[in-house]
């Protein structure tokens, strides 16, 4: 039980190192830092409480309560300097892998959408072309309509002036 509670404290220390690296490279703002700090401590306390209750069977003693912070202190003083760089390497490799997965997803998505995008572009081009052809075909009619309209207006004006 003593070793298990100390290992629980070391696990919380490892989780803290992960959180510290994540905060160092994402650089969240003030509010997000407060929220993630609260989230970290809620998760850590919940996990430590769960392990504590399973190991001790609900018996709370001073030495068992002090073993979790002692394990965290041992981890942060002795093991953390040696764990940070491999942990950082693992985070970077995970980030590269997730980036690769994201690029593969985007490529597949674009490949699936290409025929639809091509059809939309082709439809737009066709409609623009037809609109241009329609305007060219209507130009003579437009010219004829203007001429007829002007003639009618002139005729109406002349008729009004006669009496």
* Residue 36 · residue 28 · CB < 8 Å: yes
* Rounded Cα–Cα distance for residues 161 and 156 (Å): 9
Tens digits of per-residue pLDDT, 127-152? 999 999 998 888 888 888 888 899 99
- pTM for this predicted structure: 0.63
* Rounded Cα–Cα distance for residues 7 and 68 (Å): 8
Tens digits of per-residue pLDDT, 26-69? 888 999 999 999 999 999 999 989 988 888 888 888 888 898 89
Of the candidates 42, 44, 39, the one whose C-alpha atom is nearest the C-alpha of residue 12 is 44
* Rounded Cα–Cα distance for residues 141 and 62 (Å): 99
Reported confidence tier of residue 14, pLDDT bands at 50, 70, 90:
very high
Structure tokens at 33: 């830092």
The contacts of residue 159 (CB under 8 Å, 6+ apart) are none
* Rounded Cα–Cα distance for residues 108 and 135 (Å): 41
* Residue 77 · residue 10 · CB < 8 Å: no
């Amino acid at each position: 039980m003593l070793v298990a509670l100390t290992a629980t404290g070391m696990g919380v220390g490892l989780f803290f190192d992960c959180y510290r690296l994540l905060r160092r490279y994402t650089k969240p703002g003030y509010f997000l830092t407060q929220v993630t700090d609260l989230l970290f401590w809620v998760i850590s306390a919940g996990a430590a409480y769960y392990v504590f209750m399973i190991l001790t069977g609900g018996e709370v003693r001073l030495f068992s309560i002090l073993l979790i912070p002692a394990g965290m202190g041992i981890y942060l003083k002795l093991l953390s300097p040696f764990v940070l760089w491999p942990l950082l390497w693992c985070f970077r490799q995970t980030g590269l892998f997730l980036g690769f997965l994201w690029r593969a997803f985007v490529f597949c998505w674009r490949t699936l959408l290409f025929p639809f995008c091509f059809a939309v572009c082709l439809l737009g081009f066709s409609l623009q072309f037809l609109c241009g052809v329609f305007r060219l075909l209507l130009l003579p009619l437009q010219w004829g309509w203007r001429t007829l309209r002007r003639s009618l207006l002139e005729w109406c004006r002349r008729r009004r002036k006669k009496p």
